[in-house]
Amino acid sequence: MRRLTLFGMPVLLLAALFFLWQFRFERVPGYPTLQLRDLKLGPQLPPGAAWTGTETSPVLRLSAAPGVGQVVLKPDIPQIPAVDHIHVTLRTSSQNLEPGAEKWEDGRGIIEWSSPISGEVENDPIFSLTGTSTGKSIEQVMRPEKSPATPALRFENLGSSGFYEISQLEITVVRERWLWKIGRWFLISSCFAWALAWCRCGGRVGLLRASAAAFIWLFMFLYFVVPGPWKSLHPLAAPFQMGERIVPARTETASRVAADQMNVPPAVLPSAGKIPHKGDLTLLVKVYAAKARPLLHIILLFTPTLLIACLAGRSPAMSLGVILSVSIEAAQVCFGYGFDRVDVFDLLCDATGIALGLAAVRHPWLRERLRWSSEKPCRSVAVE
């Protein structure tokens, strides 16, 4: 019965995680959901930018062509002051969009955060497009590095040719629910309790050793799986459930103001330039040390496997290492980052790291100091 509970508990924990994550955010009262047509109320667009579609379903197109130069558009986001989180939904498509002289000179969307206190500006990318793509949907919750901050939109086509379109845009001010703020601690505690019981399933691992092993595994899970090292927060397989949408009122006064502004010559805006990569230290290392990616994955699984094996034994170390490796790749799929042959190679590197960790703990030098007991179902370590 105990083993059945240990095997069944992860299913309940996973279900709780999905539930809490999908209901993590709620709309902030008093702030409507702004759509693409709300951004249409502004000055005349610069060359290369144009509105297509219908009045009720507008489409924003940014076209790059010889003689046009870089197309930069910075529409205002009305009715949103300094905030901590915004929920952004986009649908984009591109046609024959060729990058410019630099690799990062493509079609992109950016949230430009401005601090009302220090005046610092942070550029936070939403999407990046090249080539031809159709109907690409994006949903994420974005947050400034230093909150609160005032968001502004930037749409840029820095390519040499081609265009991209935005057919859907929704921006909503959100905040974390108390359900998430409180429930996550119960979930973390439950995960720790499960990992602790898993490490002690043989009955011969001391509480202190098993607790240390469970803490190591839980730390790796929180850091690399959920919430993970990403700066922006993506829905976990299904859209965020934020409550009823509030549509802003559109008045004739706003329309008249927009009509008066149509005669104002558009300002030429500079590009935001090359944007530093966002995310945790782990993601930065993977970007700037791309050739060392296999080694990083091996170390990523070797270290916790070795430590857990030293503390709780080889069997729980192997199983927890496999769970961690699969969870990392599964989280990337559920968060919308996809899965390809590179990820298959990552799994092979993870398996290598686990195998090396299990092999290292059998070294005579370690065996002598850890005073291994005879092999049990969990290959546990004798309590000193």
> How do residues 297-329 score in pLDDT, each as one tens digit?
999 999 999 999 999 989 999 999 999 999 999
Whether the predicted pLDDT of 65 surpasses 80: no
pLDDT in tens, 221-257: 999 998 888 888 999 988 999 988 776 665 443 333 3
> By C-alpha distance, which of 83, 96, 170, 84 is closest to 130?
96
Which one-letter DSSP state was computed for residue 266? P
d(CA 259, CA 261): 5
Whether the predicted pLDDT of 213 surpasses 50: yes
123-137, 247-261, 264-278, 355-369, range with greatest mean pLDDT: 123-137
Please state the rounded mean pLDDT for residues 9-13.
92
Task: Check residue 248 and give its pLDDT.
Answer: 66
pLDDT in tens, 130-175: 999 887 889 999 999 988 999 999 999 999 999 999 999 999 999 9
Task: Check residue 264 and give its pLDDT.
Answer: 44
Whether the predicted pLDDT of 263 surpasses 60: no
Per the listing, tokens 């009720």 go with: 56
Task: Check residue 330 and give its pLDDT.
Answer: 93
The answer to whether 359 and 303 have CB atoms below 8 angstroms apart is no
Please state the rounded mean pLDDT for residues 99-103.
88
Least confident of 40-49, 114-123, 135-144, 172-181: 40-49
Whether the predicted pLDDT of 108 surpasses 90: yes
Q: What is the pTM of this model?
A: 0.84
Average pLDDT of the chain, as a whole number? 84
Task: Check residue 7 and give its pLDDT.
Answer: 80
H/E segment holding residue 114: strand 107-114
C-alpha separations of 315 from 6, 254, 359, 370, 378 in Å: 15, 67, 12, 15, 5
Task: Check residue 377 and give its pLDDT.
Answer: 42
Residue 371, both tokens: 């005073």
C-alpha separations of 224 from 123, 132, 279 in Å: 24, 32, 12
Whether the predicted pLDDT of 384 surpasses 50: no
The answer to whether 84 and 116 have CB atoms below 8 angstroms apart is no
133 vs 364, more confident? 133
Whether the predicted pLDDT of 43 surpasses 50: yes
The domains of the chain, with CATH numbers, are 2-23+178-232+278-370 (no CATH), 28-175 (2.60.120.260)
Helices (H) and strands (E) in the chain, counts: 10, 11
pLDDT in tens, 72-96: 988 877 778 899 999 999 999 999 9
Name the maximum alpha-carbon separation found in the chain.
Answer: 85
